[in-house]
């Protein structure tokens, strides 16, 4: 971001649309295309959706009431557009584990990441892990996929996501936590297994730690075990949760197409 861009005042929605929309395209276009690619069957469809969202914002500019950030309003438009493009067939079975089922399993072997002093994951495993997580995002039902994309890719907070989807914050949390678990399962299938000891703590304590870890991810904070409290099984789960979140983020293939901004602005000019 250039110094001139950093010095610009945030958009409020009160600006003339002909001045505001080019800035909004520049600021939100890269994140919006990343969102669209998680809901559209092709990159071409994703670019069409981005153009549709900005056109809708252009035509509806005078309807913005100013009771949220302008970016939140834009992603509200985007979520509605994505909802129309749901790929999952009606009636196709899909299940997500309940929160109680997200506890580390009791088997003697678990998917694990290398520890300090061990050889790091190979680039091939990383590529396969990222691909597995991204495919798992695409496979989520829309009501679970949207919170994940808005939080982990767009970077909105839970209150903003709740406002966009018009659901309570507690529902956002539940959907986000269950979806994260599904994505972590997809990553674990790509990781090596290793022997781990039995539970170091009562499972109720492990459940509390899992909830605390999820809360730290919700807020974008680092999590540390409380002093004197440690469970290796939980530690392995938390480390894979962190890597899953990393693999959710914008990565290869998410670049803003060089000419998409120009085409969006041309479509806005034609819509006048």
Question: Which of 21-30, 123-132, 246-255 is the least confident region?
Answer: 246-255
Q: Is the pLDDT of residue 149 over 90?
A: yes
What span, in angstroms and rounded, lies between the C-alpha atoms of 211 and 247? 21
Question: How large is the average pLDDT for residues 175-197?
Answer: 93
Q: Yes or no: say if 149 and 172 are a contact pair by the CB < 8 Å rule.
A: no
Q: Yes or no: say if 211 and 150 are a contact pair by the CB < 8 Å rule.
A: no
Q: Is the pLDDT of residue 10 over 70?
A: yes
* CATH architecture group of domain 9-88+258-270: Orthogonal Bundle (1.10)
Bridge partners (DSSP) of residue 109 are: 195
Query: The pTM is what?
Result: 0.86
| Residue 2, pLDDT score | 41
Question: Which of 49-63, 159-173, 199-213 is the least confident region?
Answer: 199-213
Q: Chain centroid to CA 128: how far? A: 19
Q: Is the pLDDT of residue 222 over 60?
A: yes
Q: Which is it for strands 109-111 and 193-195: parallel, antiparallel or unpaired?
A: antiparallel
The better pLDDT of the pair 176, 250 is held by 176
| Residue 103, pLDDT score | 61
Q: Is the pLDDT of residue 29 over 80?
A: yes
> Residue 6: pLDDT band by 50, 70, 90 thresholds?
very low
Residue 20 makes CB contacts below 8 A (sequence gap 6+) with 11, 13, 61, 70
Angle between helix axes 169-188 and 232-248 (nearest 10 degrees) is: 100
Q: Is the pLDDT of residue 177 over 90?
A: yes
> How many CA atoms within 13 Å lie on the side-chain side of 142?
18
Q: Is the pLDDT of residue 13 over 90?
A: no
| Residue 272, pLDDT score | 75
Q: Is the pLDDT of residue 261 over 70?
A: yes
What span, in angstroms and rounded, lies between the C-alpha atoms of 252 and 123? 14
> Residue 239: pLDDT band by 50, 70, 90 thresholds?
very high
Question: How large is the average pLDDT for residues 49-57?
Answer: 95
Q: Is the pLDDT of residue 255 over 70?
A: yes
Q: Is the pLDDT of residue 145 over 90?
A: yes
Matching residue, tokens 């500019």? 61
pLDDT (tens digit, 9 = 90+) per residue, 74-108? 999 999 998 876 644 444 455 565 555 666 666 67
Question: How large is the average pLDDT for residues 57-73?
Answer: 89
Closest CA to 53 of 31, 69, 76: 76
The domain segmentation of the chain, as residue ranges, is 9-88+258-270, 99-248
Share above pLDDT 90 across residues of the chain, in percent, rounded to a whole number: 59
Q: Yes or no: say if 124 and 211 are a contact pair by the CB < 8 Å rule.
A: no
| Residue 242, pLDDT score | 95
| Residue 1, pLDDT score | 41
Question: Which of 1-10, 170-179, 187-196 is the least confident region?
Answer: 1-10
99-248 CATH choice from 3.40.50.300, 1.20.810.10, 3.40.80.10, 1.10.10.10: 1.10.10.10
What span, in angstroms and rounded, lies between the C-alpha atoms of 255 and 250? 8
Closest CA to 176 of 150, 155, 204, 206: 150
């Amino acid at each position: 971001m250039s110094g001139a861009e950093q010095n610009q005042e945030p958009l409020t929605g009160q600006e003339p649309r002909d001045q505001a929309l080019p800035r909004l395209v520049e600021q939100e276009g890269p994140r919006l295309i990343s969102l669209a690619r998680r809901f559209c069957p092709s990159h071409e469809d994703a670019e069409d959706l981005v153009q549709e969202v900005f056109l809708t914002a252009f035509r509806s500019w005078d309807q913005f009431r100013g009771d949220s950030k302008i970016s939140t309003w834009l992603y509200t438009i985007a979520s509605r557009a994505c909802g129309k493009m749901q790929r999952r067939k009606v009636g196709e079975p899909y299940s997500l584990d309940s929160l109680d089922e997200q506890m580390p399993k009791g088997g003697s072997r678990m998917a694990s990441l290398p520890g300090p002093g061990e050889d790091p994951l190979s680039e091939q495993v990383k590529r396969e892990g990222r691909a597995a997580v991204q495919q798992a995002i695409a496979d989520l039902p829309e009501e679970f996929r949207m919170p994940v994309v808005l939080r982990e890719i767009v970077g909105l907070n839970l209150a903003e996501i709740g406002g966009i989807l018009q659901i309570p914050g507690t529902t956002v949390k539940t959907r986000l936590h269950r979806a994260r678990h599904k994505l972590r399962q997809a990553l674990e299938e790509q990781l090596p297994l290793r022997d781990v000891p039995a539970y170091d703590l009562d499972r109720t304590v492990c459940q509390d730690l899992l909830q605390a870890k999820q809360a730290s991810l919700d807020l974008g904070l680092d999590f540390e075990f409380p002093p004197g409290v440690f469970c290796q099984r939980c530690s392995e789960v938390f480390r894979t949760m962190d890597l899953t979140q990393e693999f959710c983020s914008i990565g290869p293939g998410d670049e803003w197409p060089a000419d998409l901004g120009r085409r969006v602005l041309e479509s806005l000019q034609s819509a006048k």
